[in-house]
Amino acid sequence: MQELNIRERIVNFIDTLPEVVSVKAYGSSIAFQSGYKDNEKKQVDLIVIVDDIKNFYKENLKKNKYMYKLTPSIYFKYASSKGLKKAAGICYTTDIKYGIDTYKMGVIEKKDVLDDLLNWKTFYIAGRFQKEMYTAKEDKDIEKANEINKKNALTIALLLLDKESPKLIDLYEKICSLSYMGDSRKSFKAEDPNKIKKIASGSKEHFDKEYKNKTSLFVCDKDENIEIDYKETYKMIKFLPTDLKNKIDEYSEKENDIVNIRRAIKDYLTKIIKSSSLGQTKKGILTTGPKNSLVYALSKLRKGRKKS
């Protein structure tokens, strides 16, 4: 009997859940990251999108009680929808063993996903959706909103790209770096310092498809040197999420004030990402349990400092 590949195994796992709207898988189990060994065991990271987060946990606690330790089971049973949606709107459960895989599952409502993709309220979902993912179950509204999200990511990455004579890979690294601005894990060195480079190089084919081949904002020569059309890129600022556009307008007095445009973007993203990241970390103690939360944090810390 032929062994199922990781994507087929993910679909089988999803079939055990209550009804969901969409499911996205991300991370090194799905998107190749240079520096990992082929035989290295990788956690499968999932974002499970539902219509009603409270109802999902009510049903899943009955259907898949094995997924939850004592503290999370109590929290998910009694927390209000408002409590479940604190910080970035997503609740994670870690260390879910199913078959030969271990899952980390984040659950979030569709309306909160659409809000973040279109308005960048927390950038928690938007930043992840700008990178390579595997769509195990598709929703057309979410895919449409993510196209807008990726176009906006390209715009600000081009505006932030201050490297002299940039190459295509520099642009991809800049796109990857957006979601790490203000991330609390970086402050504690709980992330591989080379992770951005690894993601960009490992997912180059994906980034070519999603960013290089869908835009006229830059041209790329045969050696992958890029030349940015700043006149057209400045025009794209008006299509950015409203709060970010207002921040840029507040900081810059003229259209081509690139120094203040960059400062506005960095200040805006750092603030919202720091807030959502810290909020999610605190909520993780309840959603994964104190022991699991500590074990996961120490594992990330060891891995990050080892890579350092």
Tell me which residue of 53, 45, 174, 178 sits closest to 113, measured CA to CA.
Answer: 53
Which residue shows structure tokens 């089988």? 12
What was the pLDDT predicted at 212?
Answer: 92
Stronger pLDDT, 240 or 297, i.e. the higher one: 240
Tell me the percentage of the chain whose pLDDT exceeds 70.
88
CA-wise closest residue to 43 among 26, 57, 60: 26
Nearest to 144 by CA among 118, 175, 125: 118
pLDDT 10s digits, 128-182: 999 999 999 999 999 999 999 999 999 999 999 998 899 999 999 999 999 999 7
- Residues 183-202: tens digit of each pLDDT: 755 554 556 778 899 999 99
* Residue among 165, 191, 185, 177 at smallest CA distance from 306: 191
Q: Lowest-pLDDT range, 36-40, 122-126, 232-236?
A: 36-40
Q: What is the pLDDT of residue 18?
A: 98
User: What's the average model confidence in pLDDT over 32-46?
Assistant: 69
Q: For residue 1, what pLDDT band results from cuts at 50, 70 and 90? A: very low
| pLDDT tens digits along 74-89 | 999 999 999 999 999 9
Q: What is the pLDDT of residue 213?
A: 87
pLDDT tens per residue, range 87-106: 999 999 999 999 999 999 99
**CA 241 → CA 37, 38, 54, 123, 150, distances in Å?**
39, 39, 28, 11, 12
Task: Provide the pLDDT for residue 79.
Answer: 93
